[in-house]
Amino acid sequence: MYTQALDTAEAQSKPADTAAAARFQARIDAEQRIEPQDFMPEAYRRTLIRQISQHAHSEIVGMLPEGNWITRAPSLRRKAALLAKVQDEGGHGLYLYAAAETLGVARETLVDQLLAGAAKYSSIFNYPTLTWADIGAIGWLVDGAAIMNQIPLCRCSYGPYARAMIRICKEESFHQRQGFEIMLTLCRGTAAQKAMAQDALDRWWWPVLMMFGPPDAQSRHSQHSARWKIKRFSNDELRQKFLDATVPQAQFLGLTLPDPALAFDPETGHWRAGPIDWAEFEAVLAGNGPCNRERLEARRRAHDEGGWVREAARAHAEKRRAAKARAA
């Protein structure tokens, strides 16, 4: 459904038609889905292109830290599961680029922005995967955080994005469980295996809390996104949900969260985390994380090496078009 030719929303939203804008907001308020051919304000379209493309880039770059462990997974079963998971992430990227294309932007443009270093992707994928336990920690925590973020997106006001998220969320929850199961196996193993799981948790915990984005007071885009029902929970609300779900899981594993200030607040029934080092988050976003350069280099190399495939596909499509034209 995403590949059909679409009028660009830009042309539709050009007349500064306040009546149309009011009707648009009324449809959103009534929980109606906005579809590609519908009127939408230019700012709504731009916000969605930014968010969906960042999301797509994150799925694609997110294949790299885990792909790194496919050949080194400790058993055939683990290899097969990890291979399938990394392949799922590639699929998520494709659904999302396709959803972005319904807003009138070409996928090539979005990919070029990523390769040029001009587009953002999730800060978490700029951290290295040093041991096998990192694959468990990523599934448990990174996919776990992604689910918190993405389940509300299944009710996003933009139809193609919401529908893509339904399938993605189903797969993410499988990823989360396989990651937790890796952690559980390590924690029930030898002392060295449990220490490896603890070390992975120590390194991933804070970057995962940062995945939900800056605190609400500093978040630039939240207000509009909430009014347009693109985003239904704030960064801090989602971070809190994640914390409340994850602390008991860490306790079940017998692992210690690397946060001496972490405490349960009996009055609110919520876990409270200590202060997050936002300077680290800013540095990683600015391109200075441990693996930013490596990740972009890997994507550029993959893009260059895949050039012949795109060329062959174009030539094949051209031949088919010509054959069809001859037959007609």
The single residue among 55, 78, 92, 241 that binds Fe ion, judged by CB under 5 A, is 92
Residue 213 near residue 219 (C-beta atoms within 8 A): yes
Q: What is the closest distance, in whole angstroms, from the C-beta atom of residue 242 to Fe ion in the complex? A: 15
Q: What is the closest distance, in whole angstroms, from the C-beta atom of residue 100 to Fe ion in the complex? A: 15
CA atoms within 13 A on the CB side of 141: 29
Contact call for residue 175 and Fe ion (CB under 5 A):
yes
The single residue among 28, 73, 89, 234 that binds Fe ion, judged by CB under 5 A, is 89
Among 20-28, 89-97, 199-207, 241-249, the segment contacting Fe ion (CB under 5 A): 89-97
- Measured in residues, the chain has a length of 328
Among 22-30, 140-148, 159-167, 316-324, the segment contacting Fe ion (CB under 5 A): 140-148
Q: Please, which residue, 87 or 268, has the CB nearer to Fe ion?
A: 87
Please name the residues in contact with 312: beta carbons below 8 A apart, sequence gap of 6 or more.
none
Among 90-98, 148-156, 159-167, 248-256, the segment contacting Fe ion (CB under 5 A): 90-98
25: left (phi over 0), alpha (psi -120 to 50) or beta: alpha
Q: Which residue is listed with tokens 């809390």?
A: 209
Among 28-36, 87-95, 151-159, 207-215, the segment contacting Fe ion (CB under 5 A): 87-95
Q: Please, which residue, 101 or 143, has the CB nearer to Fe ion?
A: 143
Residue 134 near residue 142 (C-beta atoms within 8 A): no
Q: Please, which residue, 34 or 73, has the CB nearer to Fe ion?
A: 73
Please name the residues in contact with 146: beta carbons below 8 A apart, sequence gap of 6 or more.
172, 211
Contact call for residue 66 and Fe ion (CB under 5 A):
no
Contact call for residue 143 and Fe ion (CB under 5 A):
yes
Q: What is the closest distance, in whole angstroms, from the C-beta atom of residue 190 to Fe ion in the complex? A: 28
Residue 317 is inside which H or E element, if any?
A: helix 307-327
Please name the residues in contact with 26: beta carbons below 8 A apart, sequence gap of 6 or more.
none
Q: Please, which residue, 179 or 213, has the CB nearer to Fe ion?
A: 179
Residue 37 near residue 133 (C-beta atoms within 8 A): no
Q: Please, which residue, 34 or 211, has the CB nearer to Fe ion?
A: 211
- The DSSP bridge partners found for residue 271 are 264
Q: Which residue is listed with tokens 């993405």?
A: 150
Q: Report the chain's terminal Cα–Cα distance, integer Å.
A: 26
Q: What is the closest distance, in whole angstroms, from the C-beta atom of residue 55 to Fe ion in the complex? A: 9
- The DSSP bridge partners found for residue 263 are 272
Q: Please, which residue, 165 or 243, has the CB nearer to Fe ion?
A: 165
Q: What is the closest distance, in whole angstroms, from the C-beta atom of residue 192 to Fe ion in the complex? A: 28
- Positions that interact with Fe ion (CB under 5 A): 59, 89, 92, 143, 172, 175
